[in-house]
Amino acid sequence: MHAFLRKFFSGHRPKLGGLEVLKYIGPGFIVTVGFIDPGNWATNVAAGSEFGYSLLWVVTLSTLILILIQHNAAHLGIVTGLCLSEAVAKFSSKGWSTFLLGSAMLASISTSLAELLGAAIGLNMLFKIPIPLGTILTAVVVVAVVLGKGYRAIERYIIGFVSLIGLSFIYELFLAEVNWPATTRGLFVPCAPHGSIMIIMAVIGAVVMPHNIFLHSEIIQSRQLQLGDEQSIRQHLRYEYIDTIAAMLAGWAINSAMIIMAAAVFFAGHIPVNELAQAKDTLEPLLGNNAGLIFATALLFAGVSSSISSALAGGSIFAGYFGEPLDVADSHTRLGVAISIGIAALSVFFLTDPFQGLIWSQVALSIQLPWTVFALIALTSSERIMGIHRNQGMEKWMLWGIAILISALNGILLYSFF
């Protein structure tokens, strides 16, 4: 940790003027929507409705883990000029890169399934559009946005969506009667009520997602921040860290607000919640018609924005396998986007239970996640690849400890299903 802090604060520290910092804001917020997606909504509502405020600490812990992992992914992009998928293809054997990136592509498809499904559920709540049709409509919009706009335009869409989602839940918190002392304890004091271990692991697994790790390194390297001198690279690393912390804390606040809302309304009212549509219907008599409308609208925005993130991740992973960066004008990127969104959209037609579809999509991510985390840390700990910017000392061992913890927790989660 000391080495990590020295890297952050060493050397000339540029003034963090507002305009200067804003040049680096964006990549972290695209990643943020990945862990406020419909899968997170399901786990957060379950956590709050079943266990009240007591599991808020899980969001705090998982967000701290996420900050370190996502910063490490951005670290790779800034120093090497390669995204994670390109680095895996360049520095790994053909067999290992095929396995890792193939499984990551499956994870991207699984993520897209949850995102498209969440948006379709939102459309169904608002306009009674059948879920299969809503899925197709969302998929068309997402592909059009991803293939028709540049990074900077997409970043603006994403930040706008995140802002709307955050404002939606803040609005609902003002409508509900929140127990703030219990909220404060829950955020920072670990507690595992009887029967909560499944939800604890599900929340952690839903926050730290493999496609987000690939996506963050891709967006960072697309800005070619490594082209400057050594001082410039260190400056970019500092500014990127600000973006990552700001974005992850925004995600932490929104996820926490979901659990607080569910605790204040459902747990306090002894109302069981088993699906997202039920949550919207139950809110209306307690908080008024506006609360239900806001909930459904926010779910729609979350589904669309997180679908854009998963589509970008799919394009990045597929293009990286061929040693190419994400480029919406390139055939490999376009094919990756089409595979991620297309197969996910078609899969919705075979689901008999949308809520179970959301749950199983998170299980698929949990299976793949350890492979991505170990690959990332191995790359960023290599002196051959990272030079003087490699992970060292306490930072290195903290990252490996996180990787082992994630593997153990996801192993327990997988075991619990079988």
Task: Examine residue 10 and state whether it is found in any structural domain, yes or no.
Answer: no
Which residue type sits at 19?
A: L
CATH number, domain at 209?
A: 1.20.1740.10
User: What is the average per-residue pLDDT within 231-256?
Assistant: 78
Structural domain including 99 reads 19-417
User: What is the average per-residue pLDDT within 146-166?
Assistant: 68
- Report the predicted TM-score, pTM, of the whole model to 2 decimal places: 0.82
Question: Is the pLDDT assigned to residue 193 strictly greater than 70?
Answer: yes
pLDDT one-digit tens code per residue, 246-275: 888 888 988 898 899 889 988 998 888 877
Task: Examine residue 340 and state whether it is found in any structural domain, yes or no.
Answer: yes
pLDDT of residue 20: 45
pLDDT of residue 418: 64
Looking at the structure of the chain, the number of domains it has is: 1
Task: Examine residue 303 and state whether it is found in any structural domain, yes or no.
Answer: yes
pLDDT of residue 414: 66
Separation CA 225–CA 187 (nearest Å): 36
pLDDT of residue 55: 95
Task: Examine residue 11 and state whether it is found in any structural domain, yes or no.
Answer: no
pLDDT one-digit tens code per residue, 275-297: 777 777 667 766 677 777 888 88
Nearest C-alpha neighbor of 115 from the set 91, 93, 139:
139
pLDDT one-digit tens code per residue, 299-331: 888 888 888 889 989 999 999 999 998 888 899
Express as a percent the part of the chain with pLDDT over 90. Answer: 32
Task: Examine residue 239 and state whether it is found in any structural domain, yes or no.
Answer: yes
DSSP H helical segments within 264-353, as ranges?
276-287, 289-321, 331-348
At 232, the pLDDT band (50, 70, 90 cuts) reads: low
- Residue owning tokens 């669309």: 304
pLDDT of residue 297: 84
Burial category of 95 from C-beta neighbours within 10 Å (exposed 0-12, middle 13-18, buried 19 and up) = exposed
Task: Examine residue 383 and state whether it is found in any structural domain, yes or no.
Answer: yes
Question: Is the pLDDT assigned to residue 5 strictly greater than 60?
Answer: no
Phi-psi domain of 362 (left: phi exceeds 0; alpha: psi -120 through 50; beta: other): alpha
Separation CA 82–CA 409 (nearest Å): 30
Task: Examine residue 34 and state whether it is found in any structural domain, yes or no.
Answer: yes
Phi-psi domain of 293 (left: phi exceeds 0; alpha: psi -120 through 50; beta: other): alpha
Query: Could you tell me which residue, 325 or 135, shows the higher pLDDT?
Result: 135
Tally of residues, the chain: 418
pLDDT one-digit tens code per residue, 10-25: 443 434 443 344 445 5
Q: Across all residues in the chain, what is the average pLDDT?
A: 82
Residues 291 and 283 sit within 8 Å (Cβ to Cβ): yes
Task: Examine residue 3 and state whether it is found in any structural domain, yes or no.
Answer: no
- Residue owning tokens 């079988």: 418
pLDDT of residue 6: 44
